[in-house]
Amino acid sequence: MNPISIVVITLNEEKRIGRLLEDLSKQSHQNFEVIVVDSNSDDNTCEVAQGFDKALPALTVHKMENRGTSLGRNTGAKLASHERLLFLDADVRLEPTFLTNALHQLEK
Residue 1: pLDDT band (50, 70, 90) is: confident
Within the chain, strands assigned E span 4-10, 32-38, 59-63, 84-89
Residue 6: is it exposed, middle or buried by C-beta count within 10 angstroms (0-12/13-18/19+)? buried
Task: Give 77-99 pLDDT, tens digit per residue.
Answer: 999 999 999 999 999 999 999 99
Shortest CA distance to 23 belongs to which of 87, 95, 103? 95
Asked if residue 87 lies in contact with residue 9, where contact means CB atoms within 8 angstroms, the answer is yes
pLDDT band at 48 (very low <50, low <70, confident <90, very high): very high
Count of beta carbons in the 10 Å neighbourhood of residue 66? 9
Q: What's the predicted TM-score (pTM) here?
A: 0.95
